[in-house]
Structure 1
Amino acid sequence: MSILDIRDLVIRTADGRTLVDHLSLSLAPGERLGLIGESGSGKSLTSLAVLGLLPEGMTMSGSIELGDTQIVGASERQLIRVRGHDAAIVFQEPLTALDPLMRVGRQIAEPLGRRRGLKGTALKRAVTAALEQVRLPEPERIARAFPHEISGGQRQRVALAMALACDPRLLIADEPTTALDVTVQSELLDLLDALVREREMAVLFVSHDLAVVAKVAERVLVLKDGRAVEEGAVRDIVNAPREQYTKTLVDSARQLESALVQRSGR
């Protein structure tokens, strides 16, 4: 049984341009799939479509079955029910994803209160536990802070804590490490790996960087211009890509990793 099953997904702009073209993919409970491609390949739009979060003016057709819910054509009430429960998302830039006028603790408390019915001391303890789980030091201080008062790496951990607060069966990670430096990026990937293993969650990991995807995913789907061009186990894609486009992505990842190693050795 699949936690996520996408069939013939088409995403179009208001003027009729096709941005995702008959895309199909399936994700089993506990499985990790990497969705990779260059900017504009349709990978982030696909991740947004799964939760019914496409930008205004865009339309989608086909089928997206998330658990027991058909997302295509779903009402806002249905979408609210699955967000956070069946699937949750972590975005690329947490400073824009978090409410700048709301303290961190309150932002985590909202889904916990809404979904779990927690109040008072129990809610406060759950917020602290959520921050501790993503390995944030001084969780009480972080809870009292506004997003701009903590670092980028800490903000991304807060966003991860919010996403995991209601124990979703699927975590969508949309370029979650792009805005972070190499050291913080590595720490966040290790944390993400540990948490999803512990919870046996499925993961849809979106990135343009195959080297990053290889640290998280078991299987990779390569997108180009909104179409799937290659799919397979991470090892097979990295060692023996069939398509020239995929080979270019592999070569770019190797060159970048080599440059980072040389820089760190200086």
Structure 2
Amino acid sequence: MSLLEVAGLTVTAGGRRLVDDVSFTVAAGERVGVIGESGSGKSVTSLAITGLLGGGLETSGSVLLDGTQVIGAPDRMLRPLRGPVASLLFQEPLTALDPLMRVERQIAEPIRRHLGLRGAALQQAVLGALNDVSLPDPRIARAFPHELSGGQRQRVATAIALAASPKLLIADEPTTALDVTVQDEILTLLERLVAERDMALLFISHDLAVVARMTQRVVVMRRGEAVEQGPITEILGDPQHPYAQGLVASARALDSALDAPATPGVVR
């Protein structure tokens, strides 16, 4: 059995299908990407996997998370899965983090809830979690999110997501809000942590180059449907669906433009 098995997942809102009959799997330790334009259903899929969709949305199909059926399950059954089994890393840490709570308390909460640590052991675990994401300065633990840089906030969000040692990390466009240099630092950090902890990774993005770097297999989504999926090397080398072909062609055109020699007098 795969760690995550999504079969025929459909999410509707007011009769409109946001996700339409999507199926894919993620094995233990596997790195899978989900790519598509804005509105393709990527983030809705990630929220459905963890049972975090808001009210007014109807869900059908099957989502087996470590053997537990998510679709239709009461929240009390899913809460123990969020953290130790699957954890979400969101796109914008400034909104994902609690602005009124110090960093140490936000990291401590999942550790206390899922690992049962208290007192000095909890404090050491918090500092260890920050050290794992290359934030060794103890002053950061006492900071509020607005006192940190964008890169530091995303590292804190990563520490929270990994605090309960999940089997599956769902990273929903975790570098979109960051500049290019910081983006590379965060991706390198995620690569290291996923490898060290032998976690599965579901990496959601609209950037084909980033997905190619981070994953082994990819699901291409468009207008709520999974139009193509397979090993990333096959998608890059011989995409079959017109939308996937367009993504690959656009990425190659951008690479060519960036690699082209500069023309005197032209600012790029």
Partner-residue secondary structure (3-state), 1:215: helix
Give the alignment's TM-score, normalised by structure 1: 0.95
Letter in 2 for 1:222: V
**What 5-or-longer segments of structure 2 have no aligned partner?**
263-267
Partner-residue secondary structure (3-state), 1:11: strand
How far apart in 2 are the matches of 1:234 and 1:219?
5
How far apart in 2 are the matches of 1:94 and 1:254?
30
Tell me the residue number matched to 1:171.
169
* 1:83-127 per-position Cα deviation (integer Å, ceiling 9, x unaligned): 011100000001110000000010000111111111111111100
Letter in 1 for 2:77: Q
In the superposition, relative to structure 1, how do residues 263 and 12 fare at CA in structure 2: closer, same or farther (>3 Å)? farther
How far apart in 1 are the matches of 2:105 and 2:144?
10
How far apart in 2 are the matches of 1:153 and 1:261?
27
* 1:131-188 per-position Cα deviation (integer Å, ceiling 9, x unaligned): 00011241x1110000000011111111111111111110000000100111111111
How far apart in 1 are the matches of 2:43 and 2:261?
30
In the superposition, relative to structure 1, how do residues 251 and 114 fare at CA in structure 2: closer, same or farther (>3 Å)? same
Q: How many residues are aligned here?
A: 263
Corresponding position: 1:97 with 2:112 = no
Deviation at 1:263, TM superposition (A): 11
Corresponding position: 1:215 with 2:213 = yes
How far apart in 1 are the matches of 2:110 and 2:133?
17
How far apart in 2 are the matches of 1:207 and 1:250?
14
In the superposition, relative to structure 1, how do residues 259 and 95 fare at CA in structure 2: closer, same or farther (>3 Å)? farther
Q: Of the candidates 247, 250, 261, which is equivalent to residue 252 of structure 1?
A: 250
Q: Is the 8 A contact 2:216 2:231 kept in 1?
A: yes
How far apart in 2 are the matches of 1:263 and 1:66?
49
Tell me the residue number matched to 2:56.
57
Moved over 2 A (4+): 251-264
Partner-residue secondary structure (3-state), 1:101: coil
In the superposition, relative to structure 1, how do residues 252 and 161 fare at CA in structure 2: closer, same or farther (>3 Å)? same
Letter in 2 for 1:230: E
